Amino acid sequence: MNTPIIDFVREYRKREGTRFHMPGHKGHVFFGWEPFDITEIPGADVLHQGRGIIWESEENAAVLFGTGQTFYTTEGSSHCIKAMLAALCMERGVWDRKGEDEGRERKGWENEGRRPWLLAARNVHRSMVDACALLDLDVEFLWGESSESLCSHVISAEQLEEALDRHGERPLAVYVTSPDYLGQMADIPALSRICHREGIPLVVDNAHGAYLHFLEERCHPMDLGAAMCCDSAHKTLPALTGAAYLHVHPEHGQRFLPYARQAMLLFGSTSPSYLTLQSLDYCNAYLAADYEKRLEETLERVEEWKRMFGEAGGRVLPSEPLKIVLDTAGLGYQGDEIGAELREYDIECEYEDQAFVVLMVTPENTGRDWARLHEWGKNTQMLRQSREGIPRAMPERLRSKRVMSIRQAAFAKSEMIPVSRAAGRVCAVQTVSCPPAVPIAICGEEITQAMVGEFKKFGIKEVSVVL
Ligand SMILES: Cc1ncc(COP(=O)(O)O)c(C=O)c1O
């Protein structure tokens, strides 16, 4: 597969021309990558506006992922999520003021009796709530029935049916995060069947799942009927931080494509990183080469490790194939304790909390990495000295009442106060621990005592509340 962005930059660099253009390093080496760090000069195309090398590379990605259109961003899935929600609003014309001029409510919503809203599983990333604040959207959250963590809310088809029946009115979209931070996956085919039947777009935060299209059994949201989704290429592919895709399903191209492009422009920087764009370009060649075979080999390694660790008494949560989710609480250990133990073996995990440790694997993990993990697995305190299991606090207890809309709260006059004094106040701008960046309190909700306890667990000391 060709790599037009990489080729252009290499050629430009070889010419050693004088750079009277941005960036200010002028291609001179400070760290090493500067000669390849260019800007939108003639021939370099313009992200989301041109028909040059970036567009050509995006077309390559769309072919590889089997989508109607794939858009690049150098600003992560956070950017794509805002753009997806904005595209939904534009397509439905929710802010079309013509209706108001004629003395009616917003066009398209006048007969529906409520403001534009989304039906979403509660474990949303903060960027989704930020998007709702910017776009003034309401959200009805669905709580996972068997969820043991705020990070994980797998909603069932029955739950979705029940919620749609209960509300009667159609949401702008159904929104799920799958895979989530604990590697749990929604039943996208079942959810998308319901959404298709009801004529509601299914939008998926697939930030953790770019690789899913390359498994033997393809299970990327675009393969399973989602209308739009985002992937953080940088999470599971060999791409630089910030590299991400917004995919639009071919069936929904007519509806969303023009809007998705406009929405990417609306929220994106006018200075995309060409280093990150080159890494997205490189991913195409990487994926088209022997990635599927290497991915298969990696999955065998992961399975083998999980099997050995399980046989030795370890507890691993079933999850998407490239994550190893250690259920440390089940053996009486805090995830943070085990995270510290892993560090003694020079292993840094992706995420640790009171109950879980998450390791993210890719084919780029080497034999040395696996040797360390095996070594840790043989020696961990968890297996040598088991303790009584730590009960998990069910996230349901974090339900609260909404006092004002997400937008009203996010843009209200506010103050930062110590968490210990926050109970009873209204959450203004959400405070999250990153990772997992799933808000404990959503803007506009009353902060409860249970939320205060959760903030403390995540080491959050101050929160922003409405004045
Ligand atoms: C589930 C989920 N969605 C979205 C994001 C945002 O992705 P990005 O960091 O690429 O902006 C993250 C980041 O960790 C995430 O975990």
Ligand 1 pocket residue status of 78, Cβ below 6 Å? yes
- The 8 Å CB, 24+ separation contacts for 304-311 are 305/370, 305/373, 305/374, 305/377, 308/374, 308/377, 309/377
Same domain? For 123 and 180 the reply is yes
Q: 111 exposed, middle or buried (CB, 10 Å; 0-12, 13-18, 19+)?
A: exposed
Q: What is the DSSP string of 14-61?
A: HHT----SSSTTTT--SSS-GGG---S-TTS--TTT-SSHHHHHHHHH
391 assigned to some structural domain: no
Instruction: Report which ligand 1 atom has the smallest distance to the Cα of 242.
Output: 10
d(CA 281, CA 259): 24
Task: Give kind and range of the element (H or E) at residue 122.
Answer: none
Same domain? For 178 and 308 the reply is no
Tally of structural domains, the chain = 3
User: How confident is the model over 288-346, as pLDDT tens digits?
Assistant: 999 999 999 999 999 999 999 999 999 999 999 999 999 999 999 999 999 999 999 99
Same domain? For 298 and 278 the reply is no
Q: Tell if the pTM clears 0.85, that is, is over it.
A: yes
User: Which CATH number is 438's domain given?
Assistant: 3.90.105.10
Same domain? For 78 and 144 the reply is yes
Q: Which of 384, 416, 442 is the last residue of a domain?
A: 384
Same domain? For 260 and 333 the reply is no
Q: Please state the φ and ψ torsions of residue 220, each to the nearest 5 degrees.
A: -75, 145
User: How confident is the model over 143-178, as pLDDT tens digits?
Assistant: 988 788 889 989 999 999 999 999 888 999 999 999
Note whether 174 and 199 are within 8 A (CB). no
Per-position pLDDT tens, the chain of length 467:
999 999 999 999 999 999 999 999 999 999 999 999 999 999 999 999 999 999 999 999 999 999 989 999 999 999 999 999 999 999 999 877 654 544 444 444 444 567 899 999 999 999 999 999 999 999 999 998 878 888 998 999 999 999 999 988 899 999 999 999 999 999 999 999 999 999 999 999 999 999 999 999 999 999 999 999 999 999 999 999 999 999 999 998 889 999 999 999 999 999 999 999 999 999 999 999 999 999 999 999 999 999 999 999 999 999 999 999 999 999 999 999 999 999 999 999 999 999 999 999 999 999 999 999 999 999 999 999 979 999 887 788 889 999 999 999 999 999 999 999 999 999 999 888 777 899 999 999 999 999 999 999 889 999 999 99
Ligand 1 pocket residue status of 276, Cβ below 6 Å? no
Alpha helices (runs of H) in 199-334, residue ranges in sequence order: 233-236, 253-267, 274-288, 291-311
Instruction: Report which ligand 1 atom has the smallest distance to the Cα of 436.
Output: 16
Same domain? For 32 and 137 the reply is yes
160 assigned to some structural domain: yes
d(CA 359, CA 339): 10
Ligand 1 pocket residue status of 127, Cβ below 6 Å? yes
Same domain? For 266 and 377 the reply is no
d(CA 47, CA 275): 13
Note whether 144 and 122 are within 8 A (CB). yes
DSSP state, 230?
A: E
Same domain? For 164 and 258 the reply is yes
457 assigned to some structural domain: yes
Same domain? For 254 and 306 the reply is no
Ligand 1 geometric centre to CA of 463 (Å): 21
Ligand 1 geometric centre to CA of 244 (Å): 10
Q: Which of 355, 384, 413 is the last residue of a domain?
A: 384
Residue 440's domain comprises 400-466
CA-nearest residue for atom 10, ligand 1, is 76
Same domain? For 317 and 240 the reply is no
d(CA 291, CA 314): 30
Same domain? For 435 and 376 the reply is no
